[in-house]
Structure 1
């Protein structure tokens, strides 16, 4: 039966919908660049970062480069892509590459003792290998602790030579600036340069890094603004922003002497990927974790940290001064560089999230996945979210040291409650670890809970009776509690 059609007014909105493509009404998906920009804006806002630069490398090209905030707060100078930022310990990756170039040239043997190349070292130092120096397994005393490290190099070095070693070479990890002063002097002797000459100049030139140079706060570096730090009366306080003036004497600059831009670091990464700085065989050696005496691998290669990122994926790179970081994902042809002028901003915690925007095949698991999830769900759900991640990935193995480091970064960067939740998680995952209980005791103390702090320091002592730190803290906290009561 045919139905008679009624006369009706056709809504103009439906008429437009019929004339325009459906995609015009569908919600537009964000591009990787838009997602990156949004993530960086959130990071800068959350941590009150005065100024930052971000660069992303994809398939051998810079696909994203942007500056945020202020290069100079007092003068109200906006940050640009041409501003220069402190790289701090990212410099070690350049030094590691310089060492591998010497290996490639047949001048340096990673397995050789440092005494093959340098004379006059203390007896306990002589057997330390070049590989152990580059991977922080030497056990040597740290020149950074010398009273004159920022004012008198000769006195600082004499002080360092007189200190006892911490452990036998290769026994465990100890982050130590002495290692890189020795590498600096080895390389300079091999190439006939002065003892404290800079070791990365050739690779900087080869990569076309036009705004990169060695120096510190006393040097005139074009485009370089101040560094900043929030000074807090307590870890939970919002803090007062103050300027910082980092000093790095020439003997120390293989560890932390470079200043650069995000785009320059990106150019260096591209030059490395294209084989302009090192052959592939030497690159893989540089990115292979050095092994301890017991055969277990560490997290350091030759000047670079190597972190697993899902099955068959890695992040290799370096962080610097709690203000700058870069990671390269070799299996995904992606690299992310974030430089800031705020000590304590820890931009490395943002890099994995950004990398996934540009590498859809990069499946983040473990600590990076937990970090991203807790930023969204809240840190009070740390144990639950970690359990969910482990269920989805039965092969997941939590790294106690990585979790512990993350917890301390949160505790000391204005997020003590979040740091406490991470330390609770570490204890839940590693219930037989005296170090985990010790860290949780410290986290409770920072959050003002003396009673719970003492409880966990005592648990740490029960698990590790040799933990003198726990003994000292219990005594201190009990005196403090008695004085307050």
Structure 2
């Protein structure tokens, strides 16, 4: 290991490590100093340990630049206790941060999964922990955004007792034009949209225009008759059994950065002939249900979903920068673009061209969403009955109660009831976290795919609600049930004849086909709109795939033992049948 002059992440800024004339980082007993990188090479199974001697009240942060090895960074306290572990999935900088109670801390770097290679570690900042809530959020956001001056960022709003007590933007909304994020920057909030769709259907139910127990085919006669009644309540609670639209689209050959319209999504939904499970049997997150709810609102009211929600929800609440985006060509001034980092740590544009609403596509700002949060405390749009419906949790057929209302998760955090929802589309990451009993909400939006808004929202709650939160001890783990401990016999693949599984396979429900052939002793699935998908045999007639939308593929045989098709099970879609042609 050697110290050297290395301009790692030139945009990183070195901040001092002084507090009222007292050093926060004590040179004696420290292997690292601010802005002085160390280069190291890790062998398989090797470990590097760095000591950092800090005064009490110091906030230290830095990163390990994963030059040619993926690393895990662990921070241990003066008593040897593990404080935090940092392991993001991408290469590039692996950031770490911790607060000192005084003493010598150890930063331990190990290769991920027996890897080996070069990395560089550096402390980029040691400063006093902020004394104000605003300062603590700033410190938290600087770390969350990572090194660099011109990076995508985030916006934050904190609401207490009906008022916005903090709102601010960080980083850039648009990197190409150097436009910064602010509290009025408009974001695509992805699945946070669902609670607005849930609220809309609750308003119609309260007005007697729909019933939550209605069969959806009353409003959507194009839907296939599955032989089981699917209700509006099933849709809003993710218990319908319908296959998820995004998985279906990808399996049908769509890229999720294609232009995807309402009409295209509905056509695919209406063409499905099977369910994942019987309605009410399970809860499985399903975007399809909320797309259909938006369509029902439109058909019942005679207005587009975007028009109706504007007139009945957004305008009355004063949400002037909020809309459902149902036209991918529509100009929206002041909106943030979305970004992601590739495997090399390079920033790239993450394209999003949706023209469908209900499950997603709400455009709003953190300040507008603050008005939405306040409406749950001081109701001006809606009424007590609608608010009660929003908290209504579904009871499955077998009697289990689900922790999900009309587009919001209902749970608890450190002893306090909270209601949440997150969203993720393209490079947008969003989260709303409400604590009704404390009349407190945190809203975090980001335009970087690797950003974790939920984690930030909870840490901000820790700052503002510190005197009300309780540490809830984890439940003791239960011993696994007694069973046969004998190792299962591995499936013998040498006798498999891959050519048996080749041919062209077509799905009538998706109106698409995959061609399977053997390439270099590997079964490969070809689709005209996707990269080739490698299939790995796991069991007799069962393969796993290298693409999330094809998941597991199970081949089916006829009475003559010949392959006549296969079924795809991939997360939120089950048993999608393809027939051999």
TM over 0.5: yes
Contact (CA 8 Å) 2:133, 2:464: kept in 1 or not? yes
State how far apart, in whole Å, the 1-side matches of 2:482 and 2:269 are: 32
- How far off its partner does 1:90 sit? 0.9
Equivalence for 1:59: 161
**Match for 1:355 among 461, 469, 475?**
461
Aligned to 1:338: 444
Asked if structure 1 preserves the Cα contact closer than 8 Å seen for 2:432 and 2:443, the reply is yes
Q: Is 1:248 the equivalent of 2:354?
A: yes
**SS of the counterpart of 1:210?**
coil
CA–CA distance in 2 between the matches of 1:67 and 1:469?
54
Does the alignment pair 1:282 with 2:391? no
Write the deviation string for residues 63-95 of structure 1: whole angstroms up to 9, x where unpaired: 000111111112222222222111111111111
How many Å apart are 1:131 and its aligned residue? 1.3
**C-alpha displacement of 1:245:** 2.1
* 1:226 and 2:329 aligned: no
For structure 1, the 5+ residue unaligned runs are: 1-26, 233-237, 367-388, 391-395, 398-427, 435-466, 477-485
Q: Which residue of 2 aligns with 1:159?
A: 268
Q: In structure 2, how many angstroms separate the alpha carbons of the residues matched to 1:253 and 1:129? A: 20
Which whole-Å CA distance do the structure 2 matches of 1:291 and 1:120 have between them? 28
* Map of 1:34 onto structure 2: 135
2:376 aligned counterpart, secondary structure: helix
Measured in 1, the distance between the counterparts of 2:340 and 2:189 equals 15
Distance in 2, matches of 1:54 and 1:231, equals: 25
Deviations along 1:135-174, whole A, 9 cap, x unmatched? 1111112222224584454444333222221100111122
- Please name the residue that 1:318 is paired with: 421
Structure 1 distance, partners of 2:482, 2:209, is 43
Greater relative contact order (CA < 8 Å, ≥ 6 in sequence): 1
Query: Is 1:97 the counterpart of 2:204 in the alignment?
Result: no
Mapped partners of 2:294, 2:482: distance in 1: 37
Provide Cα deviations, 1:93-130, integer angstroms capped at 9, x if missing partner: 11111111112222222233223333232111761111
Cα pair 2:152 2:175 within 8 Å, conserved: yes
Aligned residues: 352
- Are 1:206 and 2:316 counterparts? yes
The normalised TM-score by structure 2 is: 0.55
User: Does the 8 Å CA contact 1:87/1:256 hold for their aligned counterparts?
Assistant: yes
Question: Given the superposition, is the C-alpha separation of residues 208 and 228 from structure 1 closer, same or farther in structure 2, using an over 3 Å criterion?
Answer: same
Cα pair 2:292 2:358 within 8 Å, conserved: no
Are residues 1:179 and 2:285 paired?
no
Whether the aligned pair in 2 keeps the contact of 1:93 and 1:317 (CA below 8 Å) is no
Q: 2:365 aligns with which of 241, 257, 261?
A: 261
1:273 corresponds to: 377
Asked whether the equivalents of residues 113 and 126 of structure 1 are also in contact (C-alpha less than 8 Å), the reply is no
Question: 2 CA distance for matches of 1:470 and 1:430?
Answer: 34
CA–CA distance in structure 2, aligned partners of residues 116 and 289 of structure 1: 24
**Greater share of helix residues, 1 or 2?**
1
CA RMSD of aligned residues (A): 3.2
C-alpha displacement at 1:474, in angstroms?
Answer: 11
Distance in 1 (alpha carbons) for counterparts of 2:221 and 2:166:
48
Measured at CA, do residues 284 and 256 of structure 1 come closer, stay the same or move farther in structure 2, by a change above 3 Å? same
Q: Cα distance 1:345–1:336, how it changes in 2: closer, same or farther (>3 A)?
A: same
- Name which of 169, 172, 179 aligns with 2:279: 169
In structure 2, list runs of 5 or more residues that go unmatched. Answer: 1-127, 484-537, 548-581
Partner secondary structure for residue 160 of structure 1:
helix
Higher strand share: 2
**Cα offsets for 1:11-45 (capped at 9, x unmatched):** xxxxxxxxxxxxxxxx9972222222222222222
TM-score, normalising length from structure 1?
0.66
